[in-house]
A and B are shown apart, each in its own frame.
Chain A
Amino acid sequence: MEHEFQPEQIKHKFFTPWVIVIALIAVAGMGFLAVRYLFGLGAVTNLTQFFPWGIWIGLDVAAGVALAAGGFTTAALGHIWHRDKYEVLVRPALLTALLGYTFVALGVVTDIGRWYYVWHPLIMWNGNSALFEVGICVMVYLSVLYIEFLPIVTERFIGRVNLPGFLSAFNKVLDSLLRILDRTLNKFMFVFIIAGVVLSCLHQSSLGTLMIIAGEKMHPLWQTPVLPLLFLLSAFSVGFPMVIMESLSASKSFGLKPEKDVLTSLSRFVGPILGIYLAAKIGDMFIRESFVYLTELNLASIMFTIEMVFGVIIPLRMFLSSSVRQSTTGLYIASMLVIFGVVLNRFNNFIIAYNPPYTETSYFPSIGEISVTLGFVALEILIYRAFVMIFPIISLPVKSALRKTKYAIKGV
């Protein structure tokens, strides 16, 4: 397989003014996180006996899982359908998914009251519970993501193992272990790649099943038995926009030339997928006749309209236009709108739609909750930045005419 591009470590200084701002947001979030672990959920959150789930579930977990969909959608396109052109996007998307799911797991650990029992679902099974299915799938998928990431680690270190001090005696041993690992992984990687896509389809949809059991407590604009399908379709539709947004952001931040041709041709897929999602959403609305609730003017109808217009219809129109797909700015805005739409959809499903009985008040996240959520996002960006500097993730044009062999073997 001949590539004009080759994944390489990015050489760039880590701290810029913006990175420092992001680091401060992360530190603030970690401060509130410490309070939560020391004094309990009540000390930081605005959760009540009526509103047991807030933005840590609605955004950190539900939206987090959806936004990590770039990983499995790109893997499916690049590895299962073998569209080699998109190979350059697979690694950045994989890293995003890896970090995304790691932080979803951290979000879950933070939100559950007994975080030290987070392993219980592994041995205590309730197959009736949608949450159990989500939990198991996320745990397994997270492991699969780490396995999928291993070849990048072996590639980085094979022939370059350089342990400090007396440990350098083990350089050769470690190197050959890495080679064995790399060869084994290479043989079986397709097992994990397919498993990753299957697991993703399963829990992306089961995440939609979660709120169905809330029954009458959930606003009819969102409560529907086809929620799993809607969640799956919206996850499909946000996968590529996430990849496009990240690729463009990374190029901007590191001063690289964006891989525009690849992104433009990737963006062709987004319109049709969004179209299918929109059709399912509207179809469901007409079958259940829930559109009558749009005639009332209230928070639910306003949020639903914003979600549909700005998050689905406008970006759908944009992605169908070839001039938007040719323009970097157009691609960026359209992708951001899809991402906004899916995040808002998850927020609406888990927060806005949920109307428990017996309470006059409604839930609004506390400063601490918002700070932890932002802190996690900030931390994710920082780790992403560090990883693309440590590992060969982002593809750069190959400079020398002579292409390197798979491993640049030095000193062994």
Chain B
Amino acid sequence: MGELNRRNFLKTLGVAGAAVSGIPTNKLLAQSKSDLSEDRMGVLVDTTVCIGCRRCEWACKSAHGISAGNLEDYSDESVFENMRRPGNESYTVVNRYENPADSRSPLNVKVQCMHCDHPACVSACIVGAFSKQENGAVIWDTDMCIGCRYCMVACPFQVPTFDYHKAIQPDIHKCDFCFERTKEGLLPACVEICPVEAITYGRRRNLIEVAEKRMELYPDRYVDKIYGFTEVGGTSWMYLSSRNFEELHFPKLGDKPAPGVSESIQHGIFAYFVPPIALYALLGGIMWISKNKDNKVEGKE
């Protein structure tokens, strides 16, 4: 650090500021705006209608190239003894809960990715491997993923799962809203196979109307809430139920989008790179002043 002179110092300072800010500003700011489509699709799950036949589980596996076995085996109800979660081999599962109002017709809750309108995984992913599609689906790109599992840390519904036992190309697994099928005009596999229309596929805004109508027509049948309507800023999948959602193991979440706080901090720290460059300039100034003081003391220059 010895003999730099003032001119040299100032000259290089400008270059350095640009070098530190090597990350482009446009990308950092581009994604903050909401580009949600008005016509995005969604699914309304009516847990009071679902009969727990688990055909959706079979159809989901078949549609995603996971060995699904015989459809008949899915009528085995012993699986309901344990609460299950979606996993690497099953992107959706159905859990059964008692119905205090009518013990003969239990509540069956299908669980899968909620396809948030403001997904935490999309915001968190280090390489942007997750994306919210125009049709509402939140999908994951295997060509980008580095396997850091930050999406699993971020997801408020604890949905994405990881191949812990693969040394090469471990994947992140979760429901992709049958993106490949819907692209071709097909219904999501689970929606298509459901024999009782417990799951309704449609435009999200229409589904909200449907849900409100049902609650209005059968006020005794439902608690006064559409789960997913406002949770973490709204989700594509929404639920109706006759029991409190917390009793059905739905997480209690606020209405603010999950990535809101961290994104505003990130964009605050990096607002047009002003704070880092300002800090750089400040430190440069301090360095220059203390250097000069030094030189005066030593009687140099």
In the complex, the answer to whether B124 meets A131 with C-beta atoms within 8 Å is yes
Residues of B within 8 A of A188 (CB): 12
Is B219 on the interface with A (CB-CB < 8 A)?
no
Report the tally of A-B residue pairs with Cβ distances under 8 A. Answer: 229
Please tell me if the beta carbons of B149 and A228 are within 8 angstroms of each other in the complex: no
A-side interface residues, number (CB < 8 Å): 74
Q: Is A195 an interface residue (CB 8 A)?
A: yes
A232 to chain B, nearest CB (A): 10
Query: Taking the complex as formed, is A186 at the interface, i.e. its CB lies under 8 A from any CB of chain B?
Result: yes
Instruction: Tell me if A314 counts as interface (CB < 8 A to partner B).
Output: no
Partner of A127 from the list B27, B170, B284 (CB cut-off 8 Å) is: B27
Contact check, B259 vs A114: say whether CB atoms are below 8 A apart: no
The residue in chain B whose Cβ has the minimal distance to the Cβ of A199 is B20
Within 8 Å of chain A (Cβ to Cβ): is B218?
no
Interface size of B by Cβ–Cβ distance < 8 Å?
A: 82
Q: Smallest distance from the beta carbon of B205 to chain A beta carbons, Å?
A: 26
B149 with A52: CB separation less than 8 A = yes
Secondary structure class of chain A's binding surface, majority of residues = helix
Minimum CB–CB distance from A329 to chain B (whole Å) comes to 34
Q: Which residues of A contact B164 (CB under 8 A)?
A: 40-42, 45, 47-48
Stretch of B96-104, B155-163, B176-184 on the interface side: B155-163
The answer to whether A114 touches B287, judged by C-beta atoms less than 8 angstroms apart, is no
Q: Is B251 an interface residue (CB 8 A)?
A: yes
**A52 & B266 in contact (Cβ 8 Å cutoff):** no
* A129:B126 contact, CB within 8 angstroms: yes
Tell me, in angstroms, the Cα distance from A111 to B280 when the chains sit together: 32
Contacting residues of chain B (128-162) with chain A, CB-CB under 8 angstroms: 128-129, 144-150, 152-154, 156-158, 161-162
In the bound complex, CA of A368 to CA of B266 (Å): 35
List, in ascending order, chain A residues with CB within 8 A of B129's CB: 124
Tell me the bound Cα distance from A64 to B126 in angstroms.
Answer: 20
Chain B residue with the shortest CB-CB distance to A217: B156
Q: Does A39 contact B (CB under 8 A)?
A: yes
Query: Are A209 and B266 neighbours in the complex by a CB distance under 8 Å?
Result: yes
Contacts of B168 in A (CB 8 A): 114
Given A80-B287, A202-B269, 12 other A-B contacts at CB below 8 A?
Answer: A41-B164, A76-B283, A82-B290, A112-B149, A126-B127, A127-B27, A128-B32, A128-B259, A213-B259, A214-B153, A217-B153, A354-B153
19 contacts between A and B (CB under 8 A): A41-B164, A49-B85, A52-B149, A79-B1, A80-B290, A113-B147, A114-B146, A121-B146, A126-B128, A128-B124, A128-B259, A131-B148, A191-B16, A194-B287, A198-B279, A209-B265, A213-B123, A216-B156, A354-B153
4 closest A-B pairs by beta carbon, nearest first, are: A113-B147, A127-B28, A42-B164, A52-B149
